[in-house]
Amino acid sequence: MLQSARFAFPDGQDDHLRRILVVDDSRAQRRILTLMLKRWGFDVVEAENAEHGLDLCETFQPDFIISDWMMPGMSGIDFCSAFRASARASYGYFILLTSKSEKAAVASGLESGADDFLTKPVNGDELRARINAGVRILSMAHELRSKNAVIADTLSELQTIHASIDKDLQQARVLQESLMPIRTREYGKSRVSLLLQSCGHVGGDLAGTFGAQNDEFGLFSLDVSWHGITSAMMTARVAGYLSSDYPDENLALDHSGNGYEFLRPKRLAERLNSRVVGQKGVTEYLTLAYMHVCPKSGQARFVQAGHPPPLLLRKSGKAEFIGEGGLPIGLIEDAAFNDHVVQLAPGDRILLYTDGFTEAVLPDGSLLEEDGLLSLVASVPNECFGPDFLDALYNTLKRDIVASADVDDDISAALLEYGGP
Same domain, 121 and 242: no
Same-domain pairing of 391 and 278: yes
**Cβ count near 12 (within 10 Å):** 10
In tens, the pLDDT along 12-29 reads 444 567 899 999 999 999
Residues 123 and 210 in one domain: no
Would residue 102 count as lying in a domain?
yes
Is the same domain home to 184 and 120?
Answer: no
Among 128, 147, 166, where does a domain finish?
Answer: 147
Residue 344's pLDDT band (cuts 50, 70, 90): very high
Query: What is the C-alpha to C-alpha distance for residues 210 and 48, in angstroms, rounded to an integer?
Result: 92
pLDDT at 87: 87
Beta bridge partners, 205, equal 223
- Decide: residue 268, CB within 10 A, 0-12 exposed, 13-18 middle, 19+ buried: buried
pLDDT of residue 8: 47
118 and 208 together in one domain: no
The verdict on 184 and 317 lying in the same domain is yes
The set of residues, in sequence order, having a beta carbon less than 8 Å from that of 79 and lying 6+ positions away, is: 23, 50, 53, 54, 67, 71
* Residue 241 maps to a domain: yes
User: Could you give the C-alpha distances from 256 to 4, 219, 259, 261, 263, in angstroms and in order?
Assistant: 100, 22, 8, 9, 11
The set of residues, in sequence order, having a beta carbon less than 8 Å from that of 241 and lying 6+ positions away, is: 249, 250, 251, 272, 275
Q: Is the pLDDT of residue 134 over 80?
A: yes
pLDDT in tens, 214-253: 789 999 999 998 766 777 788 888 888 998 888 889 999 9
Which of 132, 147, 162 is the last residue before a domain boundary?
Answer: 147
Residue 173 binned pLDDT confidence (cut-offs 50, 70, 90): low
pLDDT at 7 over 60: no
pLDDT at residue number 142: 84
100-109, 150-159, 332-341: which has the highest mean pLDDT? 332-341
> Is residue 1, in this structure, part of any structural domain at all?
no
For residue 314, give every residue at least 6 positions away whose Cβ sits within 8 Å of its Cβ, in sequence order, or none.
345, 347, 348
How does pLDDT run across 39-81, given as a tens digit for each residue? 998 999 999 999 999 999 999 999 999 999 999 999 999 999 9
Residue ranges making up the domain that contains 73 = 19-147
Q: What is d(CA 48, CA 54) in angstroms, rounded to the nearest whole number?
A: 11
Q: Note whether residue 6 is domain-resident.
A: no
Same domain for 103 and 215, yes or no, is no
Q: In this structure, are 119 and 42 located in the same domain?
A: yes
Q: Which of 147, 162, 193 is the last residue before a domain boundary?
A: 147
Evaluate whether residue 161 is within a structural domain.
no
Residue 122 lies in a domain: yes
Using the predicted structure, report yes or no on whether residue 5 has a pLDDT greater than 60: no
DSSP string, 73-84: SS-HHHHHHHHH
Per-residue pLDDT tens for 265-320? 999 999 999 999 977 766 789 999 999 999 999 999 999 999 999 999 999 999 99
pLDDT (mean) for 389-410: 78
Same domain, 255 and 400: yes
pLDDT at 3: 43
Confidence of residue 328 (pLDDT cuts 50, 70, 90): very high
pLDDT at 14: 44
Q: What is the pLDDT of residue 200?
A: 62
**Strand partners of residue 353:** 413
319 and 313 in contact (C-beta within 8 Å)?
yes
What is the residue type of 380? V
Q: Which pTM does this prediction carry?
A: 0.65
Residue type, 414: A
Residues 142 and 200 in one domain: no
| 140, 76: one domain | yes
Inside any domain, residue 2 = no
pLDDT at 201: 56
DSSP notation for 283-341: ---EEEEEEEEETTTTEEEEEEEBSPPPEEE-TTS-EEE-----PPBTSSTT----EEE
In a domain, residue 325? The reply is yes
Q: What CATH number has the domain bearing residue 40? A: 3.40.50.2300
CATH at residue 313: 3.60.40.10
* Residues 196 and 341 occupy one common structural domain: yes
Q: Provide the pLDDT for residue 16.
A: 60
Mean pLDDT, to the nearest integer, of 26-34?
A: 93
How many domains does the structure of the chain reveal? Answer: 2
